[in-house]
Structure 1
Amino acid sequence: MSPVKGSEIPAKLVPSAFSYVNGEAFGRQDYVDPPAEILEQQVPGVVQSDLQGNEFQTNIQFRGFESSPVQGVAQGLAVYQNGVRINEAFGDIVNYDFLPEIAIQDMTIITGNPIYGLNALGGALTIQMKDGFSYQGAEVVTLGGSFGRVQGNAQVGMQSGNWAAYFAAERIKDQGYRDFSESDLRRMYADVGFRNSKGEFHVNLTAADTSFGVTASAPIQLLAVDRERTFTSPQTTDNKMIMPSINASYNVNDNITVSGLAYYRRFEQSHDDGNISEAEPCDDDPGILCMEGEEATDITGNLIPTPDGELGSIDSTGQTADSWGTAIQMANDADLYGHGNHFIVGASYDHGQVTFNAQSELAVFQPRFVVTPTGTTFGGPDEVAPKLIDTENTYVGLYITDTFEVNDRLAVTVGGRYNYASIELTDLTGEDPALNGTNTYERFNPAAGLTYQLTPGITAYGGYSEANRAPVPAELACSDPERPCLIESFLVADPPLEQVVSNTWELGLRGENIATDGSSKLTWNAGLFRTYNNDDIITVVTNSTRGYFQNGADILRQGIEAGLTYQTSKWQAYANYAYIDATYESDFILNAPDNPSARESICDASDFEEEEEEGEEEGELACIAVRPGDKLPGIPPHRFKAGMDYWVTDKWKVGGDIIGVSSQYFFGDDANQQPQLDGYWRVDLHTSYQITPRIQLFALANNVFDKEYGVFGTFFNLAGGNEGAEADPDLGEDFFTNPRTITPAPPAVIYGGAKIALW
């Protein structure tokens, strides 16, 4: 019922939906598939989306809310590891690539509970790691396969009396299924714990060093030439993280438990992104470069001469984040007036300090859309001048919740959380005073619900809850329509944004049936949900590479979720379905310069006066009109998953999974006027054979029918793309005629390996 251990109550008393995935699901796939893929299989409302074109850096989308490693994506899930909020300080992004999969004990998605603090608009994801009390033994897993995949995992856990220790490490190298998409991951987790009748104490450490070739979406015409092709390189990301934390609980008596945690987190990231340049030869002097009608200068203030070749840029960003925090909680499950009662009160404090930098370097295109630097860094205009800012976040939360068992069937839960957020931005260059400022937000989010035992094995639940998301520094620092930012890169000013508030209603049934002899078990759930966001933050695109954030959209996400699992001694199976209807509920005008349906005439009714003047000169202004009922891009309404495992013999197991996802609108098509990105289905198979009690061989085949489909779609600028195509002898001038781009899904892959238990 909260991120901190010690707040657990029986599942039958929880007045909202939840999905639990234990660590066996990762072992079932032999730690090959990343957490997002396991959640996609096991949780009805989850699908993956992929903005970056790398299987280790995908988004988790739940009920139409995103949890993403990409800066600038609105984050709608609060994510906790051992009770520590791991949404990074600058943009609330979540780097799932830091988690050694072999060390994950379980993952749970919880909805309708504001106790989980900021960002829990769609819910919260809790990740519990293993320790020496929950795992004893030693295991090594090695595997290899398609596209140069080489992977090694190891874990060891032991307990001696009241003490226990656990250690896990993973190393993955993969060349990727597209050009320039190699990945290298090194990550570890360690825990030392003490436990006795009065309490428990743990010290743990998570550390990771990862690098990725982030290939992103590519024009469909380019992918038709070669499915491995990429559109503009380099696109690389390097991450480093270290996080020590302390978790403790103390049993004051048989009913009262006091728990707490403290942590420190260091996160470093550098990102290089090859792009089409906004610079072009000046009209009155083609020998020098201009940008938006203004002469471009280097960092010393000199005019930049026009180089030979088609112009590109390499936009680089970096951040160093230091975060720390603490939480304390008291849980009391003593009866109240002779009735069962579960009372929780707690507080949390999180502080983050980030230094963020950005710069843009002039480059030229080579064949295959490779962008090579010229050595000249832009110093102006202001929009592309180097940026260096400092941000400080302070988040404070106070929460309380109580579940009262009215009788042996009915239980009522009420509670809420007060959130306070202070976000301070400081320009360190002295050139951008408009960035300086402090924004504060506060809100109390209530929740109430009930559960009713219809039969001993069937529970009905219903509830209402509210949650809020404060704008993050990355959004606040790019919210001035008169000074749009290079998306995901440049920060120019910080007009205030309003916080986003969600209102969620839920209603459902869940049940469990265990055979009297224990030979089989059936669990199932079915539910409805409705979440309404007021004045949500959206991205306004002003041209192909620039935009800003603003409040302005009311958004409704509603739908149906259902799932079941069945297990016997010989086989186990699951099936999940979700329908997500995500629509805009307000009218507004969006600039959409690359959308073929956009028209300049539509902009006349908007607030784009300044952009309209520039657009008439540059030919870039074009808008779409979004109306109530229009579907949100990137959210497929239907998603179906099913799978099973069958033990052919005591030693040989075979299994498979199927995932089906319906079509979705392209990003940038908020008015729903363009053809959708096609839906898809995929089949994965796996098998294992236990040679000896300690040695197991296994094999996996994903996307066995080699289905070609996209998992993300958007539009690109045809004129700029064709300039880059001129540098490629395989394509030539005016190659591109279709502005649609997609991120292609991985083709058929095969992996094989061995799992060895050392003791």
Structure 2
Amino acid sequence: MACCAALLPCLAQADQPVHQLGEVVVVGVTPLPGLDLPLAQVPLNVQVAQADDLQQIHGQSLTDLLARDFQGVNLTQSQGNPWQSNLYFHGFTLSPLQGSPSGLSIYLDGVRQNESFAATMNWEAIPDFAIRNVALIPSSNPLYGLNTLGGSLVLTSKSGFTDPGGSFSVTGGSWGRIQADADFGAHGDTFGFYAGIGSDYESGWRAHSSSRVQQGFLRLDWHPDAATAIALSYAGTHATLFGTQTLPVEWADTPAAAYTWPDHFTDNINQFNLRGTRELGGGWSLQASAYLRLSQSRSFNSNVNAYDGYDDDGPLGYAVDGPFDGASVGQYYYTGLSPAYDPRNPGATINNVPAANVLGNVHTRGYGASVQAVDDSEFDGHRNRLTVGASLDGGSSRFTQYGQPAYFPYDVAQRGNTVGLLPFELDPMTAAATGTRSYGVYFMDVLALTDALHVSAGGRYDHSRIGVSDLSGNEPAIDGRNSFHRFNPSLGATWSLSARLNAYLNYDEGMRAPTPIELECADPAAPCALPNDFTSDPPLKPVVAHTFSAGLRGTLADGRLHWNVSPYYSRVSNDILTIHTGGSAQGYFANVPRTVRKGVDAGFGGQSGRFEWQVDYSFVAATYGAPFAELSEDNSSADRLDAIQVRRGDRIPGIPRQMGTLAGEYHFTPQWSLGANLRACAGQYATGDENNQDAHGRLPGYALLDLDLHWRPVPALTLFVQVQNVFDRRYFASGQLGSNVFDTPDRLVDTNGPGTSTLFVAPGAPRAWFAGLQYDFGRRLD
């Protein structure tokens, strides 16, 4: 509710001079802080929240906050792990999973958090306890650079100047969850210090889905004089996340079960950021930053091998029971070869087993720098704010994958456990080095034609270079260099029709370049394992989004009520989508000529006495804008070549068309309050059903109710109890078409064929309860 309530002071003060911004809530509209504007002068439906809002969530708070309180946001957990959530906003995706199309950018203190290797987002890298402000900026705002197709999530951290004092919190409850964090900040006349640590563990509600995350954050600030501010910060994360895949819909009565296991991801991230601001006089100011980001990730994936049909002789030179051939990893030839696979003696046919494990390692060194100048001087007697800037973001990665033949034990309790038959290969399946470097130059000018009318114009030129080099000596064809460049404009206007009514209109263009993974896995004739191995593939085109936004926002009843209506239309050219060809295990990337996202966000809320409330509704029509054909062998409407025909207007899978939230909190006394949050999502199509013709149809919609009770016996201490999914509703968060190889009685692996095509679903979490406390000391307590 706080994100919409923040509009109130901005609208009331929309006609104030720019130099009085300290009296109103402001948002930054450039990557570096500096161009800060009242929300009523920003021609977009920007949603904001503060640290207090994060503290009310008591979970994986950033993603939970976005899903609960922000319009147009939906969250799914296809891996069954709360730290590996896929975030959808206006039909665009921000995900930690390699192979997911990235359409949103994210910044922490001006540093891009999208991983350079695959543009993914590791949510565990964000120290939630250290976040001071959150802003979700919609549209294809080019100032935020690559991947900003549908919006940008901008985070700023706490400091010793903004958050002096300390706090400690602990939460426990269902699935063995134990969360704890502590932070402390202090400052003198010129120096400020802030530090915090956090730890999170839970066993997970699904089998084999535990997680452990440890975080640390340190920030030092120096204000040598009134015109200068310098900050040095460090953020570190160590995480081990287990997850499990989607389930055949026929197994929906056992939602906690795992399909195959183990699957886990270990991540170590260290980020250093140095930034500074200097007031130069004459209305000019200068901001600059430089960062170094080091990440090492290790993934272990259990896989069902892809079925491949051969005649009685098998592939050339193939020996089913001969010495292990690394080329057989990922392939299972089932029948037609002699000797046949025997589940009671899996080692006898080492080159024809039904499972494989893949060990992946990615070491990335990211770096960058940016500088911008802001001029606050008047232009022709009108208030004017001009910003010009330049940025460099680069990264180099070493990527290796190792394969291991595996089998599924005959023991009923272990069916689905991919047990390795041999050690991982000494020679990697994939060994490659990738390098990315992106240069950007941008400007933005905001001119007050009158006290009520503001116009903004800007743009950004991006030039990206992506290189891939083979390190194994066996795949020289993957060596290559690609360059992408484009100028993307932005134009907008806001008009305060009265002190209580504001209107805006905006047009943006944004671009994203293909990632190294996408460039090297773009051939439908040679699909890659996901996570990806590298092959030599056709080139991909960059993705370009054209977005129109408009809206009305205002207040009623002397400011006690607030509302907004915010339509948008986004046309995306050459969208890069993941085309799955082997269930969840294989696929390739391809440009789709055009996709369209259009919709509207609307909200209405306020406060009446002791009761606060907010109603939000979002409509998202995400469709394909041009016909195309793709392979989807598990789609019931596929032809004899496993192809489906996608028509213009077919809905993009994974995106609910309608979402709504009803939230309220009643304060019985200054110490006691009870809150409720009802979230509802309409149905969605499964991945693989891009033509919307599969016999399973859409996944059903759902509605979930959460309750939380807060007690504040003394100003410094807060105790709470929270119940999620109060009515224990069973639901599916997402789905994809695939082949169930455990389609025999007692869920034994089918040794006679590739399995049965079906719908795989990601079940949602059941009812859960959590309780905890937070204690603050040395801070101002309202």
One fold, TM greater than 0.5? yes
Larger deviation: 680-689 or 19-28?
19-28
1:436/1:494 contact within 8 Å kept: no
In 1, the alpha carbon distance for the partners of 2:167 and 2:183 equals: 5
State the match for 1:612 in structure 2.
none
CA displacement at 1:523 relative to structure 2: 2.8
Equivalent residues in 2 for 1:405-444 (5 A)?
405-444=448-487
State the match for 1:95 in structure 2.
122
In 1, the alpha carbon distance for the partners of 2:720 and 2:33 equals: 35
Unmatched segments (≥5 aa) in structure 2: 1-28, 333-338, 347-352
1:709 aligns with 2:731: yes
Which residue, 619, 628, 633 being the options, matches 1:579? 619
1:243 aligns with 2:271: yes
State the match for 1:252 in structure 2.
280
In 2, the alpha carbon distance for the partners of 1:288 and 1:483 equals: 18
CA displacement at 1:61 relative to structure 2: 0.4
1:280/1:291 contact within 8 Å kept: no
Which residue, 210, 216, 225 being the options, matches 1:188? 216
For 1:132, what is the secondary structure of its paired residue?
coil
Matched residues, percent identical?
Answer: 28
Specify whether residues 291 and 572 from structure 1 end up closer, same or farther in structure 2 by C-alpha distance, changes over 3 A only.
Answer: farther
1:642/1:657 contact within 8 Å kept: yes
CA displacement at 1:691 relative to structure 2: 2.2
1:276/1:721 contact within 8 Å kept: no
CA displacement at 1:265 relative to structure 2: 0.3
CA displacement at 1:541 relative to structure 2: 3.4
Which residue, 370, 380, 396 being the options, matches 2:417? 370
State the match for 1:507 in structure 2.
550
CA displacement at 1:59 relative to structure 2: 1.0
CA displacement at 1:52 relative to structure 2: 1.5
For 1:179, what is the secondary structure of its paired residue?
coil
Larger deviation: 468-477 or 94-103?
94-103
CA displacement at 1:547 relative to structure 2: 2.3
1:223 aligns with 2:252: yes
State the match for 1:525 in structure 2.
564
CA displacement at 1:680 relative to structure 2: 0.7
2:675/2:709 contact within 8 Å kept: yes
Query: Size of the alignment, in residue pairs?
Result: 724
1:170/1:188 contact within 8 Å kept: yes
Q: Which amino acid aligns with 1:43?
A: F
1:172/1:185 contact within 8 Å kept: yes
CA displacement at 1:327 relative to structure 2: 0.4
Specify whether residues 724 and 237 from structure 1 end up closer, same or farther in structure 2 by C-alpha distance, changes over 3 A only.
Answer: farther
Equivalent residues in 2 for 1:618-629 (5 A)?
621-629=641-649
CA displacement at 1:597 relative to structure 2: 2.1
For 2:37, what is the secondary structure of its paired residue?
coil
For 1:24, what is the secondary structure of its paired residue?
helix
State the match for 2:203 in structure 1.
175
1:212 aligns with 2:241: yes
Q: Which amino acid aligns with 1:525?
A: N
Specify whether residues 289 and 511 from structure 1 end up closer, same or farther in structure 2 by C-alpha distance, changes over 3 A only.
Answer: farther
1:77 aligns with 2:104: yes
Deviation digits for residues 44-66 of structure 1, max 9, x if unmatched? 11001222221111011000000
CA displacement at 1:275 relative to structure 2: 1.1
CA displacement at 1:735 relative to structure 2: 13
Deviation digits for residues 146-180 of structure 1, max 9, x if unmatched? 01011111111112122111111110110000100
Deviation digits for residues 411-469 of structure 1, max 9, x if unmatched? 11111000000001000001101110000000000111111111112111001111111
For 1:37, what is the secondary structure of its paired residue?
helix
1:739 aligns with 2:758: yes
1:281/1:287 contact within 8 Å kept: no
In 2, the alpha carbon distance for the partners of 1:708 and 1:580 equals: 24
Which residue, 243, 264, 289 being the options, matches 1:261? 289
For 2:538, what is the secondary structure of its paired residue?
coil
CA displacement at 1:732 relative to structure 2: 11
State the match for 2:26 in structure 1.
none
Equivalent residues in 2 for 1:642-661 (5 A)?
642-661=662-681
In 2, the alpha carbon distance for the partners of 1:64 and 1:299 equals: 39
Q: TM-score, normalised by structure 2?
A: 0.88
1:109/1:124 contact within 8 Å kept: yes
State the match for 2:9 in structure 1.
none
In 1, the alpha carbon distance for the partners of 2:54 and 2:704 equals: 19
Deviation digits for residues 305-343 of structure 1, max 9, x if unmatched? 967346211122110000010000001121111111111
State the match for 2:402 in structure 1.
359
In 1, the alpha carbon distance for the partners of 2:730 and 2:457 equals: 48
In 2, the alpha carbon distance for the partners of 1:430 and 1:88 equals: 26
In 2, the alpha carbon distance for the partners of 1:735 and 1:428 equals: 34
In 1, the alpha carbon distance for the partners of 2:240 and 2:319 equals: 32
Which residue, 295, 300, 319 being the options, matches 1:272? 300
CA displacement at 1:708 relative to structure 2: 0.5
In 1, the alpha carbon distance for the partners of 2:367 and 2:59 equals: 32
Q: Which amino acid aligns with 1:363?
A: A
In 2, the alpha carbon distance for the partners of 1:640 and 1:23 equals: 24
In 2, the alpha carbon distance for the partners of 1:220 and 1:22 equals: 40
Which residue, 593, 597, 603 being the options, matches 1:563? 603
State the match for 1:547 in structure 2.
587
For 2:359, what is the secondary structure of its paired residue?
strand
Two-structure CA RMSD over aligned residues (Å): 2.7
1:712/1:742 contact within 8 Å kept: yes
State the match for 1:202 in structure 2.
231
Equivalent residues in 2 for 1:59-138 (5 A)?
59-112=86-139, 113-138=141-166
CA displacement at 1:724 relative to structure 2: 11
Q: Which amino acid aligns with 1:417?
A: R
Unmatched segments (≥5 aa) in structure 1: 601-620
In 1, the alpha carbon distance for the partners of 2:317 and 2:406 equals: 12
CA displacement at 1:687 relative to structure 2: 1.1
CA displacement at 1:624 relative to structure 2: 1.0
CA displacement at 1:723 relative to structure 2: 7.0
Q: TM-score, normalised by structure 1?
A: 0.91
State the match for 1:606 in structure 2.
none
In 2, the alpha carbon distance for the partners of 1:324 and 1:481 equals: 34
Which residue, 179, 184, 196 being the options, matches 1:151? 179
State the match for 2:655 in structure 1.
635
Which residue, 710, 715, 735 being the options, matches 1:688? 710
For 1:41, what is the secondary structure of its paired residue?
helix
Q: Which amino acid aligns with 1:313?
A: A
State the match for 1:698 in structure 2.
720
For 1:38, what is the secondary structure of its paired residue?
helix
Specify whether residues 700 and 543 from structure 1 end up closer, same or farther in structure 2 by C-alpha distance, changes over 3 A only.
Answer: closer
State the match for 1:593 in structure 2.
633
In 2, the alpha carbon distance for the partners of 1:281 and 1:378 equals: 25
In 2, the alpha carbon distance for the partners of 1:734 and 1:184 equals: 38
Larger deviation: 69-78 or 213-222?
213-222
Q: Which amino acid aligns with 2:420?
A: P
Deviation digits for residues 724-751 of structure 1, max 9, x if unmatched? 96548xx999998661111111111101
State the match for 1:316 in structure 2.
359
Larger deviation: 473-482 or 649-658?
473-482
Larger deviation: 214-223 or 272-281?
272-281
In 2, the alpha carbon distance for the partners of 1:286 and 1:477 equals: 28
In 1, the alpha carbon distance for the partners of 2:279 and 2:319 equals: 65
1:281/1:289 contact within 8 Å kept: no
